[in-house]
Homo-oligomer: A and B are copies of this chain.
């Protein structure tokens, strides 16, 4: 059933075949036009005739790495071709120094505010890769309560502010049946902090199951609410998504046709599938590439994503990445994503590294 299990012989391409495929993908990415034998020869890296190249191309097409838009056109990589290129042929270079310094420079200009960091990260990714980008906020797997604060808003409305160990802050308003004073709320706040500090939703639940000292009536409802909210946070592994650079992607010729772009926008706006992919990337190791047409995006065959987790696994981690045309300069994008993820790792480590007891 699995694609990879089915064609094991796909690996044994000759050196020249690999070279032809590599050149073709590179040239296609650069030119956005189908590549023929003549164009490949003109690149000057092959020391055979065009006829030989043609037979290699025909073979690569038979094997499923290439396809022809029509008989008299050059070849274009298939999904399988891109996969092979990415996994076997791409020179996995470090991001060139000029980019690194530019990114580093931008990151050091800003104050320590997570919101702005994430926005900046999205902007930097988008700008460096000339694509669209997305970044999710860092998140713990099982969040621990760092601080709860209850504030009187109105007679019968309470604002609850939760600060979790991963640095995320949640606020929510709750209505209670009787008027409450700020004094009473401050008192309850202290109690709750003493009781539940550093605990997970589960632990809070188990303390609740036992007797709660002196907490009954609406205060008990507040505790229930707290536990509920923390469970919500745990369930929604992906919360807010920062994005940038949609306009960049419109520069690419494949998006001349609006319907292609529509698919990309759909992909960014349909949170269900996006969340699925992002949460997979979250638990992956290193950079993950989802080529258009693969995985849950079967019908979005011309848009690819390059994603990487960042942060400290289970403690404060998120996903960042790039969304662009399948015909994208993967080597550059991958190295950019990797580098930015690494920057974020450093940042997160600095802030949440060894959390104090």
Contacts and interface: CB of A to CB of B under 8 A. Distances in A.
A314 B99 CA distance: 44
Nearest to A119: B240
Interface bin, chain A: 35 or more
B173 A114 contact: yes
B113 A172 contact: yes
Contacts of A147: 149, 151, 161
B173 A169 contact: no
Contacts of A58: none
Given A147-B149, A163-B161, A356-B152, A246 B265 contact: yes
Interface in A310-357: 350-356
Output the residue of A154, A155, A355 with the most chain B CB within 10 A: A154
Interface string A126-153: 0000000000000000000011010111
A147 B147 CA distance: 13
Given A112-B174, A163-B159, A175-B112, A154 B262 contact: no
Contacts of A257: 258
B355 A153 contact: yes
Given A149-B149, A171-B167, A352-B153, A250 B246 contact: no
B269 A250 contact: no
A111 interface: yes
Given A163-B149, A169-B171, A258 B269 contact: no
B261 A154 contact: no
A147 B167 CA distance: 18
Given A250-B261, A258-B255, A354 B154 contact: yes
A256 interface: yes
Contacts of A266: 247
Interface in A214-257: 240, 244-247, 250, 255-257
Interface string A257-273: 11001100110010000
A340 to B, nearest CB: 19
20 contacts: A112-B174, A115-B240, A146-B151, A151-B163, A153-B167, A153-B352, A154-B352, A154-B353, A154-B354, A157-B351, A159-B163, A159-B167, A163-B171, A244-B269, A247-B262, A250-B261, A255-B258, A257-B258, A258-B258, A261-B261
